[in-house]
Amino acid sequence: PDAPEHTRTGMSPEILKAAFIDNLTLAVGRPLETAVPEDWYQAIALSVRDRIMQRWVRQFEKRNAPDVRQVAYLSAEFLPGPHLGNSLLNLGITDNAREALAGQDLDLYIGLEEEPGLGNGGLGRLAACYLDSLATLRYPATGYGIRYEFGIFDQAIKDGWQVETTDKWLLPGNVWEIKRPNFAQVVKIGGHTETFTDQHGAFRVRWIPDRVVVGVPYDTPIVGYLSDSCVLLRLWSAEAAQSFDFADFNRGDYYGAVEEKVFSENISKVLYPNDEQLEGKRLRLEQQYFFVACSIKDMIRLCLRRGSTLERFHEMFCVQLNDTHPAIAVAELMRQLVDKYAMPWERAWDITRRTFSYTNHTLLPEALEKWPLPLFGSVLPRHLEIVYEINRRFLDEVRTRFPGDEDKIARLSIIDESGEKYVRMANLAMVGSHTVNGVAELHSELVKTQLFPDFHDLDPKRFQNVTNGVTPRRFLGLSNPGLTRLIDGCIGDSWLSDLDRLRELEAFAGDAGFQQDWMRIKLENKSRLARIIRDRTGVVVDPTSLFDIQVKRIHEYKRQHLNVLHIITLYQRLKHDPRLQITPRTFLFGGKAAPGYYMAKLIIKLINAVADTVNQDPAVRDLIKVVFLPDYNVKHAQNIYPAADLSEQISTAGKEASGTGNMKLSLNGALTIGTLDGANVEIREEVGAENFFLFGLTCEQAARLRADGYNPGDYCHGDPELRGVIELIDSGLFSHGDRELFRPLTAHLLERDDYLLMADYRPYVNCQQQVGHAYRDCQHWTRMSILNVARMGKFSSDRAVREYAANIWKLKPFTPDP
Ligand code: 26Y
């Protein structure tokens, strides 16, 4: 009765085998006998893509039905990680593919994929997790972003320092994307505006640009987990406008015309590698506007194609702004509606306000985007006028509610006029959105009280929280197959799309046999990571030691150097007492520093310097090993999380908006040592205080300490062990006698210490001692590890996406096919 399976869509091992060979010969163009692993990767990836495409095309009608509202997730960054392994998992055909390859190593092929590093860290990875959940939960969604030719740089370590090289993810080609030149958009940049009277006698404005570029979309369909649903990742690439006829202007100037091409393509050339540190670069503003303009025009096109009028734009699309990077979308939608489609301002504003919502990801003042007014005006002259008009109307409203409070008005204004004038993108996003949300409970409170208190006074209902989540598919199902099988065997496999069911593991937390299996798998994962560490760094580490892991971008507020102070403390103790017994530990660091962030680069150098000294000092008796694993990215993260015993989440309270690595590590059975910051607070609530190593100042205590006049030197002088650690660094022991190398770092700690390391040092070191002690009780530790995993249900990105859909987007999922 069943129709025979088609080679391009069937899922059985036999059909997959036929598909791989078909693609190897007919698409890759390689005879079986001479095919190299890269060819096999291509063939398998193409076969998987076919199966995703089938789902995509099948869903097409549903997506474009007149009553379907969809979310557009606007993000300057997406960090999806390698696609092949995840897509096989989501399609449910990993085992079949393995069988189809009879004897060949599927994991080898999966490991060959270059990942699209189109983001810096947490914010871009969050966007990718949300696409996975949107697809899995069958929500109609599109992720809009930039197809950077060069993503985040590759990191190498030379002589202990970070060295950046360009990322070349597109070099081997990218089978997952499809170029759609027929949906290209033209984007204007620069120039000036003019007013005119239209044929109805209405006063209108037009924008005469001095440059146009073309945005060409590249589509990557993202398939949901065991679902017939896909979402689209649509990334825009900048090309020169062929038709902006240079022949008219530069007749005969062929070279000049080609130069113009180079200039245009610059816009999507490279991802800015800064996170949380603003650089007011013209090209970055152009990037932001470029992808936003393309995306808004694409939505308008889709809206009109579906036979709707733009009056109903907000019923067809809701737009989530992933931080302020796409906030110019507020002004762009207004421009389109008012200038191009001649809609009255009030009507256009109403639609705009109903369309947008904004997620804030940071409280750090240096990360809040603001553009110098002259720069903004020269790139986007018409948008500046529109921003002024939005602001004028908004501030008039404020004045009626708070007459005479000019200070308040100055704080609320989209234009910062306190000195040199700026456009404040967060204020634009706030004014143009119906909802704003933070990314963890604590963070969302701070958004109300610290960041936008005046907006909160104005309209408290607009503020929400959606605590971040991570996809359990990639970060447990794919990356930790051992633990996945153990859990499956215990509670069935439905937990992967219903993470709350992990709670059923609680019943096994005290079961000796289950604990044994749990420990065995952790040890296997650690042995695997130990091999990777040896191969990539030459350092030999003991898989039975406590794996103490801090992986994330390098930043002073994340306090990798506090971790280092602890390592040096242990080192110092071992030197003083040659027979001291401590729990053997492997300290593992991974993370990139922004290329221009001097202090972060010095922290990397310090980690490597301490590693060099400690790893080869016989006095340490191999009790501690320190490793900096270069080029931390999604692919490496997937090997690291499953091997972690201890997760370092030690930011200064009030600084880390949420963190998501904290969730991934705990989901893989690591215990957390952490401050009450970001989502740590909620992780601790969920797993129970007794299964979490808490230390340090709360954010209220930190604020009070600063207000009362913080003197870091006092902590240092009052604590001989801490003083010894700082002196050891300054002695040149870790720098071949160079006493100046780390001085900027130690001097900062003693004199300013913006992130309160000195105050948190003693509580941290003491807490670490408890960790070391607890690790010796294997059974108890394992029990805590099991309970951590069992109680991670809340931190699934499925839960987070459902909250966005229900509370912010008002979105309904598709009904499944019969
Ligand atoms: C303005 C520009 C310099 C900039 C570029 C990238 C500013 C910020 C960023 C990236 C920020 C980021 O990744 N933030 C992280 O977002 C995660 C997801 O919400 C949070 O978990 C994490 O705490 C936060 O630091």
CB of 654 closer than 6 angstroms to any ligand 1 atom: no
As a three-state string, the secondary structure of 248-287 is HHCCCCHHHHHHHHHHHHHHHCECCCCCCCCCCCHHHHHH
Give Cα 618 distance to the centre of its chain.
41
pLDDT given at position 814: 87
Catalytic residue among 284, 552, 566, 585: 552
Place of tokens 């950046």: 164
- Give the residue, by CA position, lying nearest to ligand 1 atom 4: 275
Kindly indicate the confidence band of residue 618, based on its pLDDT and cuts at 50, 70 and 90: very high
For the stretch 726-784, pLDDT in tens is 999 999 999 999 999 999 999 999 999 999 999 999 999 999 999 999 999 999 999 99
- Atom 7 in ligand 1: which residue has the minimum CA distance? 276
How far, in Å, CA of 52 to CA of 88, rounded? 10
Residue 646 CB coordination number (10 Å): 25
Closest residue by Cα to atom 10, ligand 1, is: 275
Domain boundary among 379, 406, 433: 433
CA of 28 to the centre of ligand 1 (A): 39
Ligand 1 binding pocket includes 274 (Cβ within 6 Å):
yes
Which atom, in ligand 1's list, is nearest to the CA of 126?
Answer: 18
Q: How many Å lie between the centroid of ligand 1 and the Cα of residue 732?
A: 35
At 551 the pLDDT is 98
- What is the per-residue pLDDT for 815? 80
448 is catalytic: no
For position 243, what pLDDT does the model report? 57
* Residue 120 Cβ contacting ligand 1 at under 6 Å: yes
Cβ–ligand 1 contact at 677 (below 6 Å): no
d(CA 19, CA 27): 11
426 CA to centre of ligand 1 in angstroms? 14
Our CA angle for 682, 684, 690, nearest 5°, is 160
Question: Does the C-beta of 50 come closer than 6 Å to ligand 1?
Answer: no
Q: What is the pLDDT of residues 393-414, one digit of tens each?
A: 999 999 999 999 999 999 999 9
**pLDDT at position 61, please?**
82
User: What is the Cα–Cα distance from 177 to 235, expressed in whole angstroms?
Assistant: 9
Residue 297: active-site member: no
**Residue 400 shares a structural domain with residue 499:** no
Which atom of ligand 1 lies nearest, measured to the CA of 656?
Answer: 23
Give residue 275 CA to ligand 1 midpoint distance, Å. Answer: 6
Residue with tokens 């937390």: 509
The span from the CA of 196 to the CA of 281, in Å, is 33
Q: Which of 49, 51, 125, 558 is catalytic?
A: 558
Clarify whether 383 is annotated catalytic: no
- The answer to whether position 10 is within a domain reads no
Pocket test for ligand 1, best of 275, 278, 422, 755 (most atoms within 8 A of CB): 275
* The pLDDT of residue 259: 78
Together in a domain, 306 and 384? yes
**Beta carbon of 556 within 6 Å of any ligand 1 atom:** no
Which of 276, 363, 442 should be mutated for ligand 1, with most atoms under 8 A from CB? 276
Number of alpha carbons in the 13 Å side-chain half-sphere of residue 774: 21
Ligand 1 pocket, residue 658 CB under 6 Å: yes
Q: Which tens digits make up the pLDDT trace of 338-360?
A: 999 999 999 999 999 999 999 99
Residue nearest ligand 1's atom 1 by CA: 278
pLDDT in tens, 417-474: 999 999 999 999 999 999 999 999 999 999 999 999 999 999 999 999 999 999 999 9
Place of tokens 């060959």: 112
**Residues 604 and 738 reside in one and the same domain:** yes
What whole-number distance in Å separates Cα of residue 789 and Cα of residue 483?
10
Q: Whose CA is nearest to atom 5 of ligand 1?
A: 275
Q: Is the CB of 122 under 6 A from ligand 1?
A: yes
Assess whether the C-beta atom of 126 lies below 6 angstroms from ligand 1: yes
* Known active-site residue 83: no
Q: How far apart are CA 248 and CA 574, in angstroms?
A: 77
Q: What is the pLDDT of residues 187-209, one digit of tens each?
A: 999 999 999 999 999 999 999 99
- Compute the distance from residue 151 Cα to the ligand 1 centre, in Å: 16
Query: Do 413 and 483 reside in the same domain of the chain?
Result: no
- CB-ligand 1 contact for 167 (6 Å cutoff): no
Residue 122 CA to ligand 1 center (angstroms) comes to: 6
Q: How many domains does the chain have?
A: 2
CATH number at residue 631: 3.40.50.2000
* Residue 660 annotated in active site: yes
Atom of ligand 1 nearest to the CA of 359: 19
Mean pLDDT value across residues 689-697: 98
Please indicate, yes or no, whether residues 528 and 672 belong to a single structural domain of this protein. Answer: yes
Is 248 a domain residue? yes
Three-state secondary structure of 752-810: CCCCCHHHHHHHHHHHHHHHHHHHHCHHHHHHHHHHHHHCCHHHEHHHHHHHHHHHHHC
**Do 492 and 426 share a structural domain?**
no
Rounded to 5 degrees, φ, ψ at 326 are -100, 20
Residues 234 and 376 in one domain: yes
pLDDT tens readout for residues 260-276 = 788 889 999 999 999 87
> Do 141 and 246 share a domain, yes or no?
yes
The pair of structure tokens assigned to 707 is 């207000």
Q: Which of 435, 465, 463 is nearest to 681 (CA)?
A: 465
User: Does 364 contact ligand 1 (Cβ within 6 A)?
Assistant: no
CB of residue 288 inside a 6 A radius of ligand 1: no
- Atom 3 of ligand 1, nearest CA residue: 278
Which residues on neighbouring strands pair with residue 424, listed in sequence order? Answer: 370
Is residue 188 a part of any domain in this protein? yes
Q: Which atom of ligand 1 is nearest to the CA of 77?
A: 6
Tokens of 528: 């695997």
Q: Pocket of ligand 1, candidates 77, 120, 123, 471: which has the most ligand atoms within 8 Å of its Cβ, to mutate? A: 123
**Mean pLDDT for the stretch of residues 301-327:** 96
Could you identify the residue written with the tokens 């005969």?
Answer: 252
Question: What is the torsion angle, in degrees rounded to the nearest 10, for the CA atoms of residue 340, residue 341, residue 342 and residue 348?
Answer: -110
Ligand 1 in contact with 322 (CB < 6 A)?
A: no
49, 129 in Cβ contact below 8 A?
A: no
Catalytic residue at 168? Answer: no
pLDDT of the residue at 262: 84
Per-residue tokens: 224: 């949901």
Q: How far is the CA of 706 from the centre of ligand 1 (A)?
A: 24
439 lines ligand 1 (CB under 6 A): yes
- The whole-number pLDDT of residue 258 equals 75
Say if residue 803's pLDDT is above 80.
yes
What confidence tens digit (pLDDT) does each residue in 660-674 have?
999 999 999 999 999
According to DSSP, the residues that pair with 693 across neighbouring strands are 673
Query: What average pLDDT does range 62-72 have in this prediction?
Result: 89
Question: Residue 121: CB within 6 Å of ligand 1?
Answer: yes
CA of 124 to the centre of ligand 1 (A): 8
Six-digit token pair at 384? 């500046």
- Ligand 1 neighbourhood includes 273 CB (under 6 angstroms): no
Quick one: what percent of the chain has pLDDT higher than 90?
Answer: 93
Q: Is 308 exposed, middle or buried (0-12, 13-18, 19+ CB in 10 A)?
A: middle
Interacting residues of 192 by C-beta distance below 8 A, sequence separation 6+: 207, 208, 381
Locate 684 and state its tokens: 């601790």
Dist CA 586 CA 532 (whole Å): 14
β-bridge partners, 17:
none
In sequence order, the 6+-apart residues with CB closer than 8 A to the CB of 759 are 697, 702, 705, 710, 712, 715, 753
277 CA: nearest ligand 1 atom: 3
Place of tokens 């994340």: 558
d(CA 427, CA 432): 8
Distance CA 142, CA 152 (A): 23
Which of 136, 467, 586, 660 does the annotation list as catalytic? 660
- pLDDT-derived band at 4, boundaries 50, 70, 90: confident
Domain check: are 679 and 768 in the same one? yes
- Dist CA 703 CA 710 (whole Å): 10
Rounded average pLDDT over 99-108: 96
CA separation (Å) from 563 to 407, 681, 733, 757? 42, 20, 18, 10
Q: Same domain for 184 and 249?
A: yes
Structural domain harbouring 680: 479-802
- Which residues, 6+ apart, have CB-to-CB distance to 257 below 8 Å? 246, 250
When pLDDT is cut at 50, 70 and 90, the band that residue 277 belongs to is confident
Which helix (H) or strand (E) covers residue 429, if one does? helix 425-431
| Token pair 């970055």 in the structure block, residue | 284
* Distance between Cα 361 and ligand 1 center (Å): 6
Q: Residue 103: its pLDDT value, please?
A: 86
The rounded Å distance from CA 236 to ligand 1 centre is 21
Measured in Å, residue 658 CA sits from the centre of ligand 1 at: 10
Catalytic residue among 335, 462, 473, 553: 553
Best CA proximity match to 239, nearest among 260, 269, 264: 264
H or E element, residue 238: strand 230-240
Q: Sign of the C-alpha dihedral, residues 423, 424, 427, 429?
A: positive
| pLDDT level of residue 539 (50, 70, 90 thresholds) | very high
- Say yes or no: 378 and 497 in one domain: no
Residue 324 belongs to some domain of the structure = yes
Is 70 exceeded by the pLDDT of residue 1? no
Q: Is the CB of 361 under 6 A from ligand 1?
A: yes
Do 508 and 630 reside in the same domain of the chain?
Answer: yes
Average pLDDT over residues 78-97: 98
The rounded mean pLDDT for the chain is: 96
Is residue 240 domain-resident?
yes
Residues near 536 by Cβ (< 8 Å), separated by ≥ 6?
A: 629, 630
Condensed to tens digits (0 to 9), the pLDDT of residues 223-265 reads 999 999 999 999 999 999 875 555 555 566 777 777 778 888 9
19 occurs within a structural domain: no
Determine the average pLDDT of the residues in 643-662: 98
Residue 810 reports pLDDT greater than 80: yes
Please indicate whether residue 468, judged by its CB atom, sits closer than 6 Å to ligand 1.
Answer: yes
Could you tell me if residue 579 is inside a domain?
yes
- 656 found inside a domain: yes
Q: How buried is 7 (Cβ within 10 angstroms: 0-12 exposed, 13-18 middle, 19+ buried)?
A: middle
What's the CA gap between 606 and 587, in Å, rounded? 14
Q: Does residue 527 surpass a pLDDT of 70?
A: yes
Give the pLDDT confidence score for residue 818 in this predicted structure.
63
Q: Which of 125, 314, 325, 361 is catalytic?
A: 361
The CB of 327 under 6 Å from ligand 1? The reply is no
For CA atoms 161, 167, 172, 176, give the dihedral sign.
positive
CB atoms within 10 A of CB 372: 16
| Token pair 């060099």 in the structure block, residue | 612
